[in-house]
Amino acid sequence: MGSGQWHVEKRSTFRNDSIVKEYGTVLETGCLSIIVLGASGDLAKKKTFPALFNLYRQGFLNPDEVHIFGYARTKISDEELRNRIRGYLVDEKNAEQAEALAKFLQLIKYVSGPYDSEEGFEKLDRAISEHEISKNSTEGSSRRLFYLALPPSVYPSVCKMIKTCCMNKSDLGGWTRIVVEKPFGKDLESAEQLSSQIGELFEESQIYRIDHYLGKELVQNMLVLRFANRFFLPLWNRDNIENVQIVFREDFGTEGRGGYFDEYGIIRDIIQNHLLQVLCLVAMEKPISLKPEHIRDEKVKVLQSVVPIKDEEVVLGQYEGYRDDPTVPNESNTPTFATTILRIHNERWEGVPFILKAGKALNSRKAEIRIQFKDVPGDIFKCQKQGRNEFVIRLQPSEAMYMKLTVKQPGLEMHTVQSELDLSYGQRYQGVSIPEAYERLILDTLRGRSSRRCFTGLTKEK
C-alpha cells in the first residue's frame, strides 16, 4: 500500500453505495492522475476509457481531484481523442449520461510522443505536474496511475521512461503505480526478462498485472460456486466429469489492431492468459483461504500438473480476410483461431480432457465454461435419453449458469426430455447492474488491492 492519506468519504454524490459497500468507505484523497499509454488504441477506446467513465459516473473518481491523460505516438489533439472515444462511452441520447459525459471528456488531455524518448515523457510529466499544482498539493498527496494499454514489446522502454521522467514528486506522500496488460511477454524467456526489467525499476507493490477475465462477474463467482456449494464437491472430479470445455469466440476480427495482434496471435492473446486463468479456477483445489497468495499457490499447482501439449491435439486457423486489414502484414501466418486439449496429471483430473478454444471473426460472440458429465452407469432410460448432464457457466454475453438434466416429460407417458435448471442473471437479478471487469480492476488498482492481479510474475518465486 502506498503512503497516501486516507479518509472516510462523506460526499454521497461521489460514490455508488452498493460498490462502496464492497470496497469499504475508506478513500484516499489527493490529486489523482490517470495516464493511459497507448490512448490511440483499441483497448483504450473500448475498455479503459469506458471503465473510467463508469467509475466517474458512479462517484469513484472525484472531479475535484482527477485528471486523465492519454499518451501515444499518433498525432491528434485533445478534441480528436475525445471524439474517438466518445461513441464508446455512452448512449448520448440518455440525457443524464450525456451531461456526465461532457464533464468527463473535459478531464481528458492528450500528449503525443514516442515510447522511448525522454523528450516525450518529460512533456507528459510537465502536463501532469501542471495539473497537480493547480489541483493539489496544499492538501493531500499526488497519485499517478500509469496504464499501459500497449503491446508488451514496448513495456520495458515505457517503464524506463516513466521511472526516469514521470514519478510522483509530491512531498506529502502519494504513489506511482503501473498497470501492465497481458500477454506478459511472448514466451518464458521474454516473460522472465520483462519481469526482471520491470522489477529493477519498480517495487512489486507498484506493479499491477491485469487479466481482465478475472474481473468478470462469473469468473469471480467460480470460487464461491465450487467451494460454497456442498453438492458440487463430490462431483467435481474424474469419476463424474467426462470433459471440460472453455470457449472464447468473437464475431469481429482484429480491425486495425494488427500492430499488436499480429505479433502475438490468438494463443498468446486469449488462451495463455484468459482461458488458462479460467482453467485454473475450474481445476484447482480449495485454497486454505481467500488470500491472493493462497489462491495463487493452488493455481500454480494446476499449471505445474499440465502435461506438455501434443502437436496432434492442436488446431490452428486464420480467418479469411485477416490479411486485408492494412495493419496486418500481407504474408502473415498468425493464427486467429486455435483449439487445444490440456491434460492435468493429478488425482482429481487424470484422463479428463480440458478443451480450450478461441477464435476471432466467428459467427457469434460468447465466452463459456461447459462441464460435461459422464453417462449414468446402468442407465435404464438409455433408449430415450436426450443427452448427458452438462453444467454451463456463460461468462458473456448475458451472464448465466445452467444445468442440463434429463426429466420426465410432463404427461401420461413415461418419456424423458432434456431440460434446464437456469440461473440467468438478467432475470434473477433484475435491476442489478453488473460492473464491467475493467471497472473492478481499475478501482482495485486505485485502492491498492492486489487480489485480482494476474500473478504471472510471481510464479517465478515458487
Residue 52 interacts with, from ligand BG6, ligand NDP, none (CB under 5-8 Å by kind)? none
β partners of residue 440 = none
Could you give the string, one character per residue 245-284, with x where binding to ligand BG6 holds by CB under 6 A and - elsewhere? Answer: -----x------------------x---------------
Closest CA to 94 of 144, 44, 57: 57
Which residue has the closest beta carbon to ligand NDP?
41
Which residue has the closest beta carbon to ligand BG6?
269
**How far is it, in rounded angstroms, from Cα 238 to Cα 243?**
9
Q: Which is nearer to ligand BG6, 24 or 397 (CB)?
A: 397
Active site residues: 274
Per the structure block, which three cell numbers stand in for 69?
491523460
**How far is it, in rounded angstroms, from Cα 236 to Cα 234?**
6
Q: Which is nearer to ligand NDP, 47 or 177 (CB)?
A: 47
Residue 150 interacts with, from ligand NDP, ligand BG6, none (CB under 5-8 Å by kind)? ligand NDP
181 binding ligand NDP? (CB under 6 A): yes
* Count of CA atoms in the C-beta half-sphere (13 A) of 37: 28
182 binding ligand NDP? (CB under 6 A): yes
DSSP 384: G
Q: Which is nearer to ligand NDP, 82 or 135 (CB)?
A: 82
Q: Which is nearer to ligand NDP, 155 or 391 (CB)?
A: 155
Closest CA to 318 of 359, 274, 286, 284: 359
Compute the Cα dihedral for 435, 436, 437, 442 and give only its sign: negative
Q: Report the chain's terminal Cα–Cα distance, integer Å.
A: 23
- Residue 70 CB, nearest distance to ligand BG6 (Å)? 19
Residue 41 interacts with, from ligand BG6, ligand NDP, none (CB under 5-8 Å by kind)? ligand NDP
Q: How many C-beta atoms lie closer than 10 Å to residue 93's C-beta? A: 7
74 binding ligand NDP? (CB under 6 A): yes
Number of residues that bind ligand BG6 (CB under 6 A): 4
Q: Which is nearer to ligand BG6, 208 or 349 (CB)?
A: 208
**How far is it, in rounded angstroms, from Cα 245 to Cα 356?**
6
β partners of residue 340 = 314, 356
Could you give the string, one character per residue 308-337, with x where binding to ligand NDP holds by CB under 6 A and - elsewhere? Answer: ------------------------------
Label residue 17 exposed, middle or buried (CB < 10 Å: 0-12, 13-18, 19+). exposed
184 binding ligand NDP? (CB under 6 A): no
Tell me which H or E stretch contains 386.
none
- Residue 100 CB, nearest distance to ligand NDP (Å)? 23
367 binding ligand BG6? (CB under 6 A): yes
Q: How many C-beta atoms lie closer than 10 Å to residue 308's C-beta? A: 7
Contacting range for ligand NDP; rule: CB under 6 A; set: 118-126, 150-158, 188-196, 381-389: 150-158
Q: Which is nearer to ligand BG6, 284 or 362 (CB)?
A: 362
Among 72, 85, 276, 367, binds ligand NDP (CB under 6 A): 72
Tell me which H or E stretch contains 268.
none
Contact by Cβ (8 Å): 419, 407: yes
3-state SS, residue 375: coil
Contact by Cβ (8 Å): 242, 373: yes
Maximum CA pair distance of the chain? 81
Among 30, 41, 174, 265, binds ligand NDP (CB under 6 A): 41
Q: Which is nearer to ligand NDP, 42 or 192 (CB)?
A: 42
Q: Residues 6 or more apart from 419 whose CB is under 8 A from it?
A: 404, 405, 406, 407
- Residue 154 CB, nearest distance to ligand NDP (Å)? 5
Contact set with ligand BG6 (CB under 6 A)? 212, 250, 269, 367
Contact set with ligand NDP (CB under 6 A)? 38, 40-43, 46-47, 72-74, 115, 149-152, 154, 181-183, 212, 257, 259-260, 269
